[in-house]
Chains A and B, each alone.
Chain A
Amino acid sequence: MAWGLCLTLFQVQAQDDLLAQLEEEAEEQTRYTIATFKGTKVVNLQSNEMPAEGVLQYTFMHRFGAFNNDFFYNFLGLDNAQVMLTLDYSPYDWLNVGLGHTGFLKTYHAYAKYRLLRQSEGQQSSPVSVTGFSAAYYSAQRYNDDLPRNTANRMRYVNELVIARKFSSDFSMELVPTLVHSNLVEEVSDNNSVFALGVAGRYKITNMHAISLEYVHQFNPNQYLDPATNTLKNYSNNLSIGYVIETGGHVFHLFVSNARGIAEPYVFAENTGSWADGDLHFGFNISRVFTLKKPEKLR
């Protein structure tokens, strides 16, 4: 009986399916998740995506004037649009460094994005990708006031920790604990450090089109004086809804957001726009990539 079983087993092995064997082996290999988001930003939040090693990326971001500010007179807000330009490069697969400028408070910034963990299946598996983003911002704005506007006091810093997961080929989400630090704040009672948590998701409608949604909640928001009502109000939390269109070399990201400033500190911790008041802005991000160094594996 036992021998019979043994023989049967052997026979099964002898006429074994070679492909099944290969498929089994392939299952065990580590497979990294790719394309969790389209583009390196969701709207204002960073996504977990980074340009590949040897790739130079140029992004062009626009925020139009508000819906509730003479929208048609200002040609749908185009006449008082804010612009931010960034240029970044990935010297390694896990590191991306860049520079940027925006007209809002004449801000220059430098940033680094670094991959800490990649979502994967198989031998080495991880349910999420973890990516860090750190940036320093310098505002060159001219002021006519008594505050000490030295270099240190013109600095702001943002750190984001992007924890992302691709749930299916269509649906991805991320949680982004965020810290915004300003060296100078307006009132003594203001917080220099504002803690926030961002949540963002994207859903693919077709292979080339997707919708995206993001919300960034501040836990200790600072206040500002609203000129319209002459009362103190909390800075708004950022909420944006976007539509992503992908073409060959570009990613177009169109959205509506209550944030006017484009640089992260202004979006997350100094945003006065409110959805309830119609203080909304059309905006778009466009990115273009250039391969400066061909992948080694190609040779």
Chain B
Amino acid sequence: MKKTALTIALTALVINLSAQKLSTRSGKVKFFSDAKIENIEAVNKQVSSVMDLASGKFAFLVPIRGFVFEKALMQEHFNENYLESDQYPNATFKGRIANTEAIKLNKNGEYQLKLKGKMKMHGVENPFSEEVTLTVKDEQVHLHSQFYLKASDYQVEIPAGKKDNINNRLEVTVNIDYDK
């Protein structure tokens, strides 16, 4: 009898916990480089992310192979020569979003929040903090953020001959719709 009660209590707790946890596997990350000779854009629609609204814990994972470029050869060079996705298949972020407990899922609204944690890419980890916008619409949570990353901070070297083709400073746009 006691055991059953405990099981029920535990199950309830787990359900409760998972109810506050938002996740998706189809988030979008886009990056854009504008250099003298050309602009390069790549889109990744296979971003997975989990957010725990109770604790503010937040993580995302970007499979490097998931980036699609306009030119297939560019995509190959990006994987083979720059991000070395055989060795470093994913870019990840792990950290916290402040004040997520203030978010009301049952009411439409927009929240400007602070994100802080560690970004890891190409085997290099750097501290990272940025503003993110969380939007609640019809009980669905959307996360948006735009920021700049420097390739050199992650030991992604752009050879001297390619400096006019690829900008070391990349504009990154994150758009994540969490599953309901």
Contact = CB atoms under 8 A, between A and B. Distances in A.
A, B co-complexed? yes
A28 to B, nearest CB: 11
Contacts of A25: 25, 48
Interface in B85-125: 85-87, 89-90, 92-94
Given A14-B17, A169-B84, A248-B165, A22 B61 contact: yes
A35 interface: yes
A34 B59 contact: no
A32 interface: yes
B72 A291 contact: yes
B63 A208 contact: no
B60 interface: yes
B80 to A, nearest CB: 5
Contacts of A295: 68-70, 72
Contact of B65 (A6, A34, A207, A297): A34
Which one of A3, A55, A246, A298 has the greatest number of beta carbons of chain B within 10 Å? A298
Interface stretch (B49-57, B134-142, B144-152, B172-180): B49-57
Which one of B25, B61, B75 has the greatest number of beta carbons of chain A within 10 Å? B61
A19 B63 contact: no
A162 to B, nearest CB: 18
A297 B68 contact: yes
B79 to A, nearest CB: 6
Contact of B57 (A6, A18, A29, A31): A18
Given A21-B50, A298-B68, A10 B58 contact: no
Given A6-B10, A10-B13, A23 B92 contact: yes
B71 interface: yes
Nearest to B45: A297
Given A35-B79, A248-B165, A22 B59 contact: yes
Contacts of A21: 50, 59
Contacts of A22: 48-50, 59-61, 92
A34 B70 contact: no
Interface string A230-251: 0000000000000000101100
A142 interface: no
A298 B32 CA distance: 13
Contact of A207 (B10, B49, B59, B81): B81
A17 B96 CA distance: 12
A168 B93 CA distance: 27
Contacts of B89: 26, 31
B76 interface: yes
B73 A249 contact: yes
B39 to A, nearest CB: 13
B6 interface: yes
Nearest to A31: B65
A289 B81 contact: no
Nearest to B37: A248
B58 A18 contact: yes
A208 B81 contact: yes
A169 B25 contact: no
A169 B6 CA distance: 51
Contact of B72 (A13, A26, A55): A55
A245 to B, nearest CB: 13
27 contacts: A6-B10, A13-B14, A18-B51, A18-B52, A18-B57, A21-B50, A22-B48, A23-B90, A25-B48, A26-B89, A26-B90, A29-B63, A31-B89, A32-B65, A34-B76, A35-B80, A52-B75, A168-B86, A169-B86, A246-B77, A249-B73, A289-B71, A295-B68, A295-B70, A298-B41, A298-B68, A298-B69
Given A34-B65, A34-B76, A169-B80, 13 more contacts: A14-B17, A21-B50, A22-B60, A25-B48, A26-B48, A29-B63, A31-B63, A35-B79, A207-B80, A246-B77, A295-B68, A295-B72, A297-B45
